[in-house]
Amino acid sequence: MIRDVWFFQPRTMAKANYANAGGKEQTWTPWWACYLAPAASGAGLGAHLIDARADDGWRARVQALGADDVLAVTALTGAALRDALEASAIARDRGAYVVWGGPHATLFPAETLAQSPAHAVIPGTGGFPGLALLLGRLTGTAGPPGPDDPRILVKGGHLVTVPRFGGHGTGQTIIADDPDPRLDLITDWEPYVNADEAIDARTTSFVTSEGCLRRCTFCTEPQTSGHSWYTHPVERSVEVLAEMARRSRAGGIKLHDPNFFHDPVRAMAFAQRFRARVGLRWASSLHPADLQEMPDTQLRAAADAGLCRVLIGMETPVPALIRLSNKRYDPAGIETMVRRLTAVGIRGMFTFIVGWPDAEPGHYQQTIDCAFAIKDLDPRHQCKIHFLEPWPGTPLAKMLARRGLQHPTSLSGWADVDYYQAQIPGLHNPAYTEIVRDANRQLSPYIDA
Ligand code: B12
Ligand code: SF4
């Protein structure tokens, strides 16, 4: 009989590109596990975390699992797949039930089920109902399948086949009514406190929403979310943040929402409530078009509410490449955006992509120059340049597949993907790998390789 669910967070092996200001790999709270843990309690099961990033003894803990355990594994494309595979193989050998979810499992549900030791795969953003349904089935506490049940793939066939959000292309904003994330899953907050020079020496993270309604041609977010934006109510998010900040003794919060300011009314409601209830410095993503449309008064109000750093995906200063990316903003306004942020004391982390299909060779240098020009305007801003990674399912990947680009076909092949390296022959110019990395070292304090 199943008694416990063990949420397994693989190591991300990302220190070379994501060091924190303390020189350690950024290690953020595994919110996926906290958001999913109520599904275990709902089925009368214990919930526990094994975070391989923070626990050197993770193998021994996985070895100790048996037939009364479920191992729930998050699958992120890239190096994290290695530990995910190893832990799952150990757990399955010990008789545990293994289930995978997360972005990689969402992009490749059938392949993931076929190639991993998982008994079941639950694709999709907003994984709570899927896991609740699966655990209900495993414990015999679930009712008969309903028409709106989430989608779960199990070895040997589909358990239920209705996509959670009514299929792709729906463009819906969904107000989540899932239970609040379980903070008690984290017994020690110290590993999840990161020094961030733009926010605070004790910065922790949170997410108030998942998915994205925009349609940038290079990004997986529209695919993994089925073109939906899954939002947790602002009031409850602020309450969770207040309690999390108390438990972790956080001095600043980094919101990891893919596109936090998409709805400015919601974002500003959060800002005001957060200022009143928590009052710490905070950071979030901000689409450049949303910044261009935002009145100065609103930008100032956000800064007054503690917003001190924004992640802005500029992608490229080249208008033709902006059109290709479908980022939908005017790059002629980059300088104005930078100056407006400086004026209100908000520091930007501006990210760029190089290696676009059919781009002029000069776009590498134009991008590097643009990033340094931002630094020259205000050295407190940061920039980072990535090589295009055409993830399958994205419009750019489909275009490149028609031209013969081949992707890995195995999970171990996907584990080698890294968009800090010019890995794709014919698309990237390898002469720029070192040039871009050198630039990144000067442009951002978060690169240490
Ligand atoms: C914090 C973060 C990091 C951190 C650490 C991540 C970690 N897991 O420890 C750092 C900075 C190290 C990092 C690094 C990288 N990251 Co990152 N990161 C994020 C970020 C901003 C937040 C993650 C988060 O907490 N999300 C909130 C939780 C609640 O959402 P979630 O994890 O998706 O979980 C939900 C569902 O997916 C599902 N679910 C998840 N797991 C499971 C498991 C089960 C069993 C079930 C049922 C459901 C389920 O239910 C959850 C609750 O609804 C996301 C963007 C985002 N906003 O999600 C990118 C994101 C995850 N990263 C991404 C990428 C590409 C990378 C890199 C590969 C980039 C690179 N080349 O260097 C690296 C390397 C990581 C690696 N593979 O080793 C992509 C992943 C795309 C993909 N196909 O996997 C994302 C989605 C950003 C993007 N849109 O491009 N990242
Ligand atoms: S790049 Fe940002 S705005 Fe564009 S689809 Fe992805 S998350 Fe949304």
Confidence of residue 152 (pLDDT cuts 50, 70, 90): confident
Q: In a 3-state reduction of DSSP, which class is residue 191?
A: helix
Please give the pLDDT value at position 187.
97
**How do 97-101 and 46-51 pair as beta strands?**
unpaired
Structure confidence by residue, pLDDT tens digits, 248-294: 999 999 999 999 999 999 999 999 999 999 999 999 999 999 999 99
CA-nearest residue for atom 3, ligand 2, is: 214
Q: How far is the CA of 12 from the centre of ligand 1 (A)?
A: 10
Nearest atom in ligand 1 to the alpha carbon of residue 131 is 47
Residue with tokens 């989430």: 150
Average pLDDT across the chain, whole number: 91
Structure confidence by residue, pLDDT tens digits, 198-241: 999 999 999 999 999 999 999 999 988 888 899 999 999 999 99
Look up residue 88 and give its amino acid: S
Q: How far is the CA of 221 from the centre of ligand 2 (A)?
A: 6
76 lines ligand 1 (CB under 6 A): yes
Tokens of 141: 């506490």
Fold classification of 173-443 (topology level) = pyruvate-formate lyase- activating enzyme (3.80.30)
CATH architecture designation of domain 4-160: 3-Layer(aba) Sandwich (3.40)
Look up residue 322 and give its amino acid: I
Tokens of 150: 């989430």
- Residue 113 or 370, more confident: 370
Please give the pLDDT value at position 413.
87
Nearest atom in ligand 2 to the alpha carbon of residue 262 is 3
Given a cut of 80, whether residue 422 has pLDDT beyond it is no
Structure confidence by residue, pLDDT tens digits, 72-97: 999 998 899 999 999 999 999 999 99
Stretch(es) of the chain classified as CATH 3.80.30.20: 173-443
Stretch(es) of the chain classified as CATH 3.40.50.2300: 4-160
Given a cut of 70, whether residue 170 has pLDDT beyond it is no
Given a cut of 90, whether residue 389 has pLDDT beyond it is no
Whole-number Å distance between alpha carbons of 235 and 95: 42
CA-nearest residue for atom 55, ligand 1, is: 258
Task: Report CA 150 to chain centroid distance, whole Å.
Answer: 21
Whole-number Å distance between alpha carbons of 307 and 310: 8
Partners of residue 353 on adjacent β-strands: 386
Closest CA to 370 of 419, 337, 345, 344: 337
Residue 296, burial from CB neighbour count under 10 angstroms (0-12, 13-18, 19+): exposed
Nearest ligand (C-alpha, residue 40): 1
Q: In a 3-state reduction of DSSP, which class is residue 314?
A: strand
Q: In a 3-state reduction of DSSP, which class is residue 329?
A: coil
Closest CA to 122 of 171, 75, 62: 75
Among 76, 224, 353, residue to substitute to test ligand 1 (most atoms within 8 Å of Cβ): 76
Whole-number Å distance between alpha carbons of 66 and 45: 15
313 lines ligand 1 (CB under 6 A): no
DSSP character string of 225-264? TTS-EEE--HHHHHHHHHHHHHHHT-SEEEE--TTGGGSH
Structure confidence by residue, pLDDT tens digits, 305-334: 999 999 999 999 999 999 999 999 999 999
